Structure 1
């Protein structure tokens, strides 16, 4: 398995972006595709198995993360959505005291999709610790909802791409003002 990245934010962004709303493409349509995605990110070894329940948990986790990231546009931090809380409760984790820093670790064997999903849950806490969790946002264009990492100095980025989604939004607002 590949080593985890120093910054877990790109992993979480990529997980949320397994559903491309604009193109109506979902990378996680079967348990096998879930296992392949997790293996491709080094969260489980190649050949790991996933069940229908794992897929359902993954989709709930993904959409809950999308909703939580969407809340990062506001002035205050929102609570995790209930569905996300339920999905995280279904992921087997434990606190391990090893070395100087305690951490969360998956309970399931590394060859299971549940262990890979648990590693995604750990990535949330790692992103909080790294200070990048609140920079994970979702495009405010309703037809897009693509996750991105806001690297702007004042953390005010609203769209995944100013040239595409920002332009769509501003053009609609301009046309609405012209009609009025």
Structure 2
């Protein structure tokens, strides 16, 4: 079983915005994903409404990680009071599986979960750096792209426009 932050990361990464690929293309694919992550039973099936709820949850969580306002779908959760309060799913099936993903964000590892700062990427990752300062999913790819663009913009801004004469009298 995955750690809660890893579960949410994997759920967010069911879409690759940069490549334009989507894992959750149908209710059946959603059910397969939830089953592979031990969130639903072997006989549970998903419907079109479940798929719409899953996509809304995924994109809402991604927006929250970008520090943007988001409206998350209503899911069957309740607060259980024990050693510390926690959210728990109150039903099974697909709705319960999605509720468990939603509840996973409250385990304390949420601050380590991030989305890549590269606007076109938005890949989710768990920041395991000591001071939680990681910004990109990959320094070699997205970090390099961002830094190269910034460098080119600085160089472009430091050049004088051609044909300009600043030594006018």
Q: TM-score, normalised by structure 1?
A: 0.80
The answer to whether the Cα contact below 8 Å between 2:127 and 2:134 also exists between their aligned partners in 1 is yes
Q: CA deviation at 1:100?
A: 5.2
Larger Rg: 2
The answer to whether the Cα contact below 8 Å between 2:115 and 2:137 also exists between their aligned partners in 1 is yes
1:62-101 counterparts in 2 under 5 A? 62-71=58-67, 81-84=69-72, 87=73, 90-96=74-80
Q: CA deviation at 1:115?
A: 1.1
1:130-141 counterparts in 2 under 5 A? 132-141=109-118
Specify which structure has the higher proportion of helix.
Answer: 1
108, 114, 120: which one aligns with 2:101? 120
99, 119, 127: which one aligns with 1:150? 127
Q: CA deviation at 1:45?
A: 1.4
1:148-170 deviations in Å (ceiling 9; x for gaps): 11111111111000000000011
Q: Which runs of 5+ in 1 are unaligned?
A: 72-77
Q: In 2 relative to 1, CA 96–153 (structure 1 residues): closer, same or farther, beyond 3 Å?
A: closer
Q: TM-score, normalised by structure 2?
A: 0.85
1:74-99 deviations in Å (ceiling 9; x for gaps): xxxx7xx3322xx1xx21122345x7
Q: What is residue 26 of structure 1 aligned with on the other side?
A: 22
Q: What is residue 74 of structure 1 aligned with on the other side?
A: none
Q: In 2 relative to 1, CA 174–156 (structure 1 residues): closer, same or farther, beyond 3 Å?
A: same
The answer to whether the Cα contact below 8 Å between 2:15 and 2:21 also exists between their aligned partners in 1 is yes
Runs of 4+ in 1 over 6 A off after TM superposition: none
Q: Which moved more, 1:145-154 or 1:45-54?
A: 45-54
Q: What is residue 136 of structure 2 aligned with on the other side?
A: 159
Q: CA deviation at 1:103?
A: 4.0
Q: What is residue 31 of structure 2 aligned with on the other side?
A: 35
Q: CA deviation at 1:102?
A: 5.4
What is the total number of aligned residue pairs between the two structures? 157
1:38-74 deviations in Å (ceiling 9; x for gaps): 0010001123211111111111110111111122xxx
Q: Which runs of 5+ in 2 are unaligned?
A: 158-169
